[in-house]
Amino acid sequence: MKDFIYSYPTKVYFGEKAAAKALPAELAKVGKTVMLAYGGGSVKKSGVYDEICGYLRDAGKEIVDFSGIMPNPTYSKVQEGAALAREKKVDFILAVGGGSVIDCCKIVAAQAVTEKDIWQMEFKDHEYPTAFLPMGAVVTASGTGAEMNNGAVITNEETNEKAGVLGAHAGFAVLDVNYTMSLPAKQVLSGAFDTLSHSMETYLGSPRDITLSDEIAEAVMCNVIRNIRLLLKDINDKEARTELMWASAMAENGILKIGKVTDFQAHQIEHQLGAYTDCNYGQGLAVIHPVLYRHMYKDGVKQFARMAQKVWEIPAAGKSQEELAEAGIQALADFVKEMGLPSTFTEMGITDKSVLKKVADTCNLTAGCCKKLSREEVLEILEECW
């Protein structure tokens, strides 16, 4: 295990009526003007918007609405939010939604307090913001774990880049599964696969020897698979969804990454695919993972073989490590189909094959991957996903 420093800034309020505990206590600590950020109309239809507004009014806050945050938040939306925050002299941002809303707000919180362009800072000058508007998060769609870190996935439409940008941590997060129960089944399952993806991408980083962090990751992956299967029987199984909500947080609160250099090559490929196609995040990962792993498992065969045994419960008797690894990858591909998620880009509705080379030419190639891919091999992987 590599050396590390671990500290965690986000206070989690978990369980039923968590907002009733969190918001009166936390809002008392912040200024008067609160930006209430959300996506489309679902938070209003579900009643969550009115409930949260009630807590804000009871706390004596002035509410500034920032709505319309899209599923793949754009940099122009970030700039819109930052301008609104400056204009209205916002003291605090409350993000109410899933990963896209929370991610957008992390960067709004940074951009609102600096004259520098955040994209220029991070990607050209290699500087990172240190001052932020304080923010909190009320999670209405789990899976991304966005409430548990300061990373955000933002699409810059001008440059055709979808990339990870660093912004603010939420000071607190409200995780109440009741706020997620109105989500469509496909969205719930896509989010759950994203949690599995986060765990796998961390697990398959370096070092290659199994650490305590990896053993915790194995438990998270097993939990996710088990509870997804419960949801396939009953999408409204509240206990299963509660477990998945916490698994999502565990996958992204840094614990699985302690002492690790993570992989996240599948995410980097999906990010750029999303920049050109605006595809569903979890579905894109479901297509990419098995194909990517068939290209890289021989360079991390020990980890893949162990994952096959510990996570997919494949017996080791009579199998070499390579055979175990291959069986584990096939089990993952079979699980994608079991979930009803797509196995190819065409099943996702992507029709323009010419974007694949653009994705391969522009996606980030990660250092933690057990095999450092070339752009030519990334293109091969994308074409096999077609």
Per-residue pLDDT tens digits for 344-367: 999 999 999 999 999 999 999 987
In angstroms, the CA 207 to CA 3 distance is 11
In angstroms, what CA-CA distances link 338 with 100, 161, 218, 311, 334? Answer: 26, 32, 20, 16, 6
- What are 154's strand-pairing partners? 163
Within 10 angstroms of residue 239's Cβ, the number of other Cβ atoms is: 10
For the chain, which residues make up each domain, given as ranges? 11-180, 185-385
Give 33: exposed, middle or buried? Use CB within 10 Å, 0-12, 13-18, 19+.
middle
pLDDT, one tens digit per residue, over 38-66 is 998 889 999 999 999 999 999 999 999 99
Cα 81 from Cα 112, distance rounded (Å)? 8
Whole-number pLDDT of residue 18: 96
pTM of the model: 0.94
pLDDT of residue 378: 96
Question: Does 3.30.9.10 match the CATH number of domain 11-180?
Answer: no
Q: What is the CATH number of domain 185-385?
A: 1.20.1090.10
Among residues 366, 187, 338, 180, the alpha carbon closest in space to that of 270 is found at 366
β-pair partners for 36: 65, 94
Residue 258 pLDDT greater than 80, yes or no: yes
CB 248 within 8 A of CB 16: no
**Predicted confidence (pLDDT) at residue 1 exceeds the cutoff of 80:** no
What was the pLDDT predicted at 2?
A: 77
